[in-house]
Structure 1
Amino acid sequence: MTQLAHAGQAASRSGDDVQDVHQGRRHDLAVAALHTWSEYGYSHVSVRNIARRTRFSHGMVHYYFRSKDALVAECVRIIQESHIFGADVSAAGDVLAVSHIVADAICDSLRTHRRLHRIRFDLRNQSQFERELRGYALEVEHAHDVAVQAIRRRYETLGWTFDPPFELLAIQVDALRERAVRADLLGDDLPVAVTQLRTDLLRVLPG
């Protein structure tokens, strides 16, 4: 192999390393934004506040995220890609099995991604007053609706007929999730809130 080829490979590896560092820093800053949002609310998400919560200067944060809107967009992207609403019910053999899988998935998601769920509800509430947030709120709610409709189809495939309509059940389930998120936010014991959530979910889900 020629020296030029060696140099090309080295440059490629160097470029990959730089890209990895760039993505790593961007990820760290996005995580700091998520923590800030989940603890203090949307109003505290800013380039300046994120700089205060990380080892990076204000200028460095601004390099990766030129504005608050860019930070919010990255937070929404992470929520969408985290699949916090889904439940794999494809293998469920009956309606009761679907309900248990859904209840467990909702509870596991709250344990694992409690901050993302906090942000989702805060985003939904704030979008009523902040016009620039409405598009982001719709994106997150669309991800929720897609996951919910997949669950609906599995129930219907197994012969379940929704009466009252499925949409009312979906609203009720989401209200129970929001109550658990609020309990956690207000300082209640999360395991207790999740246990209560599972009990209540199994009371309202089919079966």
Structure 2
Amino acid sequence: MTQLARAGSANRSEDDVHEGRRHDLAVAALHTWSEYGYSQVSVRNVARRTRFSHGMVHYYFQSKDALVAECVRIIRDSQIFSAGEGKVGDITSYSQLVADTICESFRKNRRLHRIRFDLRNQSQFEPALRVYADEIEEAYTAAKDAVRERYESLGWTFDPPFELLAAQVDALRERAVRAELLGEDLEDVVRTMHDDLLQVLPKNP
């Protein structure tokens, strides 16, 4: 291996270490946020949750805003709003797929869903947070539009409008977040949400 190639390999390794640490610190920030709320997200609190010093965390994230931006990027890219892909024969079977996928996402990513609702609420009072809330909502809207298009491709016409159905589904997700946060058993929460989703999602005529 030439000296130039070795240098390039070393740089890639250093970049991987840098990104790995940055990701680990962002995950610690996500845990802090989901457990204690937005107000407790800080460079100092993230340092307390990891093996890194305050100075090391500050090296990767120089401010709370930088931490929040990285947390939002992770949530945006996590596809937590996916509502299911796969072959379905009719509207009822697609609704079953949607309910299954939403509930599985909640089971695996309930902390991220919790942060989303916390951020949405906080952004009503802190204008600087609205750009971050909007970034996550854009990902939600894209997934929501994909569901609407899939229903329409199966021949469903929405009356009342699809947006009302989407609001009901999102309210069920938020209720599940609150129930789990208040100590209800996770599987009971998921089971209730699944049953309620099947009640509101479209069925074959």
Q: What displacement does 1:173 show? A: 0.4
Residue 125, structure 1, aligned to residue 111, structure 2 = no
In structure 2, the residue corresponding to 1:113 is in which secondary structure?
Answer: helix
Q: Is the 8 A contact 1:90 1:154 kept in 2?
A: no
Quote the residue 1:165 is aligned against: 161
- Please report the RMSD computed on the Cα atoms of aligned residues, expressed in angstroms: 1.0
Determine if the alignment matches structure 1 residue 79 to structure 2 residue 93: no
DSSP 3-state at the match of 1:88: coil
Aligned partners of 1:32 and 1:50 also within 8 Å:
yes
Paired position in structure 1 for 2:188: 192
Unaligned segments of structure 2, at least 5 residues = none
C-alpha separation between the residues in 1 aligned to 2:189 and 2:47? 33
Query: For residue 93 of structure 1, what is the aligned residue in structure 2?
Result: 89
Shift of 1:90: 5.2
Please say if 1:104 is aligned against 2:103. no
- Aligned position for 1:6: 2
Q: Does 1:17 align with 2:13?
A: yes
Q: What SS is found at the alignment partner of 1:101?
A: helix
How many pairs align?
203
Does the CA contact (< 8 Å) of 1:89 and 1:98 recur in 2?
A: no
Residue of structure 1 in register with 2:32 after alignment: 36
Contact preservation (8 Å) 1:120, 1:140: yes
TM-score by length of 2: 0.96
Q: TM-score, with normalisation over the residues of structure 1? A: 0.96
Deviation at 1:88? Answer: 3.1
1:114 aligns with 2:100: no
Report the residue type matching 1:101 in the other structure. L
Question: Structure 1 regions of 5+ residues with no counterpart?
Answer: none
d(CA) in 2 for partners of 1:152 and 1:112?
Answer: 24
Shift of 1:34: 0.2
Runs of 4+ in 1 over 6 A off after TM superposition: none
- Contact 1:95 1:206 survives alignment (8 Å): yes
Distance 1:6 1:159 in 2: 62
For residues 133 and 104 of structure 1, the distance between their equivalents in structure 2, rounded to whole angstroms, comes to 32
The percent identity for this pair of structures is: 68
1:155 matched to 2:156? The reply is: no
Give how far 1:10 is off: 1.5
Rounded to whole Å, the distance in 2 between the matches of 1:140 and 1:104 is 22
